[in-house]
Amino acid sequence: MLRKYMGMAALISAGLIGGASRVQAQSAMLNLPRASQHARITQRIGITDITIDYSRPLVRGRKIFGGLQAYGQVWRAGANENTILEVSDPVSIEGQTLPKGAYGLHMIPGETAWVVILSKNATSWGSFTYDQAEDALRINVKPQSIENQEALSYGIEDPKPDSALITMRWEKVGISLHVQVNTAQIVAENLRKQLRGRVQFEWQPWMEAADYLLTNFKNDQASAEEAARYAQHSIDNEDRFENEITKSRALAALGRQDEALAARNKAIAMGNQLQVQSFARTIQGDGRYAEAIELFHINIQKDPNTWIAHNEKARVAVSEGDFDTAIKEMKLAMDGCPEALKAPHADLLRRLENHEDINK
């Protein structure tokens, strides 16, 4: 047993396992500094975490690919223990589906083509016991030529709401893998779980869940029906302007226009001036100008003397082409608004003086 341990230590010292040469010995049992230092990166895409856990060998003047690491042979894609790629939800990599889980990452380098392997075994030391029967997927990729990269580096780059690019760079070779995440579907499924927890007794989570479905699953009947149920749950917990508006959106998406209008009108009656104005400005952004102007009229009637009402009177006047009245009303709005809003109002006033339509 002692001779076996000494043989292993010699291999480690020689760098045959650690991936380095002429460096101090590493211990198989003690926590000592390693020649190939440990690294871990995580990127969240939507609510999905992508993590790469690896050790970083150095080039140290050697020829790595096609030299120390022969072409056509399985490489551990790092040093020491398995390089591990972990995803907290199912993803697709270069179009191939990868279930949630932790995977051993291996590669087969080649002069013009590489193979990237994700193994269901993520607990090994290096690639010494790699077994192709344990592959979760294999991906053929083209390597890119890069400037010399001394330390092996993994990155998760160009993050978008539903995708990212996993990169490996070492020596003069770069490898890229496109990862796609079905964020909307994952979030929708996760919301169902979250809404069974403590948050089920609050109004806001149900409304936020409904809003998410309506925004991300447009023209999807099942999602609109689910959003309508969520909105009603929110209202049952506490009836408010916000969730009545969300209910109206859900009912409109279902084609139940009369019910949608009733929910909207109820919300408008409940809402304060700022809430109604914010909603009106939102639908203006959707191109529903006539409906927004109608809401401005209704909101002005709540109290015609507030800075919000004067702002809305200016917007109504602009819609009628009356810039003189609009300028007068915007000045009154600017005089009465909170200090933090004076600069935006000054910009609106400038635009009116230039005869710009501030409703667009």
Q: What does 225-256 look like in DSSP terms, one character per residue?
A: HHHHHHHHHHHHH---HHHHHHHHHHHHHTT-
What pLDDT, on a 0 to 100 scale, did the predictor assign at position 26? 61
Can you read off the two tokens belonging to residue 342? 């004076």
100 and 205, same domain (yes or no) = no
Can you read off the two tokens belonging to residue 149? 């990269």
Beta bridge partners of 117: 106, 138
141 has pLDDT over 60? yes
Q: How far is CA 283 from CA 19, 58, 262, 316, 348, in A?
A: 61, 57, 17, 15, 19
This model's pTM is above 0.75: yes
21 and 77, same domain (yes or no) = no
Residues with Cβ within 8 Å of residue 12, at least 6 apart in sequence: 18, 25, 26, 27, 28
Which band of pLDDT confidence, cut at 50, 70 and 90, is reported for residue 30?
Answer: confident
- Mean pLDDT score across all residues of the chain: 92
Q: What is the CATH number of the domain that holds 278?
A: 1.25.40.10
Which band of pLDDT confidence, cut at 50, 70 and 90, is reported for residue 226?
Answer: very high
Q: How far is CA 104 from CA 51, 96, 116, 196, 359, in A?
A: 12, 16, 11, 34, 56
Which band of pLDDT confidence, cut at 50, 70 and 90, is reported for residue 32?
Answer: confident
55 and 93, same domain (yes or no) = yes
pLDDT digits (tens, 9 = 90+) for 89-127: 999 999 999 999 999 999 999 999 999 999 999 999 989
120 and 90, same domain (yes or no) = yes
3 and 20, same domain (yes or no) = yes
Could you tell me if 166 and 154 are in contact, meaning their C-beta atoms sit under 8 angstroms apart?
yes
Structural domain boundaries, residue 99 = 36-181
85 has pLDDT over 50? yes
25 and 135, same domain (yes or no) = no
**Secondary structure E strands in the chain:** 37-45, 48-56, 83-87, 91-93, 96-98, 101-108, 114-119, 135-141, 144-160, 163-180
Of 29-43, 186-200, 247-261, 272-286, minimum mean pLDDT range: 29-43
Q: Which residue, of 215, 236, 271, is where some domain finishes? A: 271
215 and 79, same domain (yes or no) = no
309 has pLDDT over 70? yes
Residue range 264-291: mean pLDDT, rounded: 94
351 and 286, same domain (yes or no) = yes
In this structure, the chain runs to a length of: 360
What pLDDT, on a 0 to 100 scale, did the predictor assign at position 25? 54
Smallest CA-to-CA distance from 50 within 166, 140, 143 is with: 166
User: Residue 176 and residue 113: Cα distance in Å, rounded?
Assistant: 12
User: Residue 44 and residue 50: Cα distance in Å, rounded?
Assistant: 6
149 and 195, same domain (yes or no) = no
What pLDDT, on a 0 to 100 scale, did the predictor assign at position 15? 40
**Residue 257, helix vs strand vs coil:** helix
20 has pLDDT over 70? no
Token look-up 């690919």 returns: 65
Torsion of CA 84, 66, 72, 177, to 10 degrees: 40
What b/e sequence results for 253-267 when a residue is b if at least 16 CB atoms lie within 10 Å of its CB, and e otherwise?
Answer: beebeebbeebbebb
Residue range 294-312: mean pLDDT, rounded: 96
Higher pLDDT, 319 or 33: 319
267 and 309, same domain (yes or no) = no
41 and 145, same domain (yes or no) = yes
Residue range 30-56: mean pLDDT, rounded: 94
What pLDDT, on a 0 to 100 scale, did the predictor assign at position 132? 97
What pLDDT, on a 0 to 100 scale, did the predictor assign at position 8? 43
Can you read off the two tokens belonging to residue 56? 């970083």
2 has pLDDT over 60? no
Question: Which contacts (CB < 8 Å, 24+ apart) does range 217-225 have?
Answer: 217/184, 217/188, 218/253, 219/253, 221/254, 223/188, 224/250, 224/253, 224/254, 225/254
Q: How far is CA 58 from CA 22, 55, 152, 183, in A?
A: 12, 10, 6, 36
Can you read off the two tokens belonging to residue 182? 């079905």
Q: How many domains does the chain have?
A: 4
Which band of pLDDT confidence, cut at 50, 70 and 90, is reported for residue 33?
Answer: confident
What pLDDT, on a 0 to 100 scale, did the predictor assign at position 28? 65
Q: Which residue, of 240, 271, 302, is where some domain finishes? A: 271
Could you tell me if 116 and 167 are in contact, meaning their C-beta atoms sit under 8 angstroms apart?
no
19 has pLDDT over 80? no
What pLDDT, on a 0 to 100 scale, did the predictor assign at position 10? 41
Helices (H) and strands (E) counted in the chain, each on its own, are 11, 10
Q: Which residue, of 212, 246, 271, is where some domain finishes? A: 271
What pLDDT, on a 0 to 100 scale, did the predictor assign at position 16? 37
Residue range 24-31: mean pLDDT, rounded: 67
177 and 253, same domain (yes or no) = no
Residues with Cβ within 8 Å of residue 290, at least 6 apart in sequence: none
5 has pLDDT over 80? no
